[in-house]
Every structure is written in structure tokens, then in C-alpha cells.
Structure 1
């Protein structure tokens, strides 16, 4: 069984996503909605890590560092400046959140095959929040795009 690989990928993904939300919050703190909402979304990711803990104890967890690079995404190490920088940073976080969302989907398939109700309940609650994160990121990018792309700095 290789579920431990994807539980490790989820753990690392949620951890990296939380760090990336915090990085965007700090780097674009002049935007009040960005600052406070990214802090809230980072806390959701922290909670997802807590939810994963008992599942990792049951099925094991392998470090995604042992997997090919294409199976994980790096978080933001620094933020860019200006409106285009905000747009690009949000886009990078969106890509990472998409990876986390799809990983939840894959783990849900395994949970269905195993008929593991605890695993399925964890996936349902955490993935729903991840999908809300994706929706907010997409909406915020749509809001930022006209200013970033059409107004001269």
C-alpha cells in the first residue's frame, strides 16, 4: 500500500501552503484583506496538518523529499512587490493550493476503497476548506488583474 506517500505529500503540501499564505500576508500587508485573510487561511492549513496526524499514525507517512520533484511544489520564499507582484504571488499560491486539492482527491479515492470513514471525513472537511481557499485566490486574482495589468506603475 502506498497511501503513506500521499499522506506525506499532503502533510508537506499543507505545511508549505500555510507558510506561503503567511509569506503573502507579510509581503503584501498593505492590502488589509490580503493580510488578515491569508493569516486565516494559513491557520486552516495548520488545522489540516492536525487532522492528518492520526491518519499518518495509522497508515504511515513518507517524506515527499524522497519522491520525484514533479510530485511537489515549492512555496514562496519571498514576495514580489507592486500590483503585478501581488498577482504573481497569488497565482503561485493558487498552483500550490491546486496541488493540495488534487492530493486530497487522490487520498479520498483511497479512503473509499478502504472504506475508512475517519479518513473520508477528514478529506471532506479539509478539502472543502482547500476549495474555498482556491475560490478566494481566484476571485482575488480577478480583482487584482485590471489594476496590475492595465495601470502604469
Structure 2
């Protein structure tokens, strides 16, 4: 059984998303909503990480460095300005979609195993991730005209 592989993947992906959100919050403090909302979204990832602990204890984790490699590819150095904000939001959106896909895969495994606890955690955490993605998409749509046209 490879449930531990995806538990590790979602665990470390949530951690990387949390760190990236906090980094974007600190780099774009001049945008009125970015700091507060990114910190709020990072807290959602922290809650999801906490929800994983009993599942990791039960299924164990199979270590993976894949989430770290994704973060390194997307966030090489701090960026500033309106185009940089758009790119950072884009990168966060990609990371959040990686997290969501992990939750979906684990949800399917939970259903196959008839593990109600795993299923409940996956559904709840996936809901949080969907909200993160929705906010990121809205903010990308707001930032795009300013960054690409007005620059």
C-alpha cells in the first residue's frame, strides 16, 4: 500500500505552500490585501498539516523531496513590483493546485479503503484548498490588467 507516499506528498506540499504564502506576504506588503490574506491562507495550510498528524501516525510517511523541488523552481528569488506580484500569485496558484490534487488522490484511496477518518480529513482539507485557489484566481484576475497593461 502506498497511502504513505501521498500523505508525505500532501504534508510537504502543504508545508511548502505555507512557506510560500508567508514569503509572498512579506515581499508584497505594499499591496493592501496581500499580507493579511496570504497570512490567513497560510494558516489554513497549517490547520491542514495538523489534521494529517493522526493519519501519518497510522499509515506512516514515505519521504519525498518533490514539493521542495517545485518550490525551488517557482520561487528562486524575491520579486518586487506589479508584474512580480502577478507571477508570485501565479506560482502560489500552481502550488495550491498541486496540494488539491494530492487531497483528491488521497480521497479516492480513503474511499477504496473505506477509511472514514481519512475521507473526512481529505474532504475538509480539500475544501480549504479550494478556497485558497479561488482567492488566488480572483486576485490574479484583479492584478493582471494593472501588471500587464498599465506597467
TM bracket, shorter-chain basis: over 0.9
Structure 2 alignment gaps of length 5 or more = none
> Is the aligned partner of 1:42 residue 2:42?
yes
Q: Give the aligned partner of residue 128 of structure 2.
A: 129
Equivalent residue of 2:136, what SS? Answer: helix
1:66-118 alpha-carbon deviations (Å, 9 max, x no partner): xxx59962163543110000000000011010000001000000000011111
> Is the aligned partner of 1:73 residue 2:66?
no
Q: Give the aligned partner of residue 6 of structure 2.
A: 6
Equivalent residue of 2:70, what SS? Answer: coil
Q: CA RMSD in A?
A: 1.6
Cα distance in 2, alignment partners of residues 70 and 21 from structure 1: 14
> Is the aligned partner of 1:109 residue 2:108?
yes
* Moved beyond 4 Å, runs of 4+: 69-72
Cα distance in 1, alignment partners of residues 105 and 68 from structure 2: 13
Taking structure 1 as the reference length, the TM-score comes to 0.93
1:93-149 alpha-carbon deviations (Å, 9 max, x no partner): 110100000010000000000111110110111100100100100010000000000
Count of residues in Structure 1 that have an aligned counterpart in Structure 2: 149
Seen in structure 2, the aligned counterparts of structure 1 residues 142 and 19 have a Cα distance that, compared at 3 Å, is: same
Q: CA deviation at 1:32?
A: 2.0
Q: Give the aligned partner of residue 90 of structure 1.
A: 89
Would the aligned equivalents of 1:25 and 1:34 in 2 still touch at CA under 8 Å?
yes
Structure 1 alignment gaps of length 5 or more = none
Cα distance in 2, alignment partners of residues 24 and 124 from structure 1: 27
Would the aligned equivalents of 1:4 and 1:59 in 2 still touch at CA under 8 Å?
yes
Seen in structure 2, the aligned counterparts of structure 1 residues 42 and 52 have a Cα distance that, compared at 3 Å, is: same
Taking structure 2 as the reference length, the TM-score comes to 0.94
Would the aligned equivalents of 1:13 and 1:72 in 2 still touch at CA under 8 Å?
no
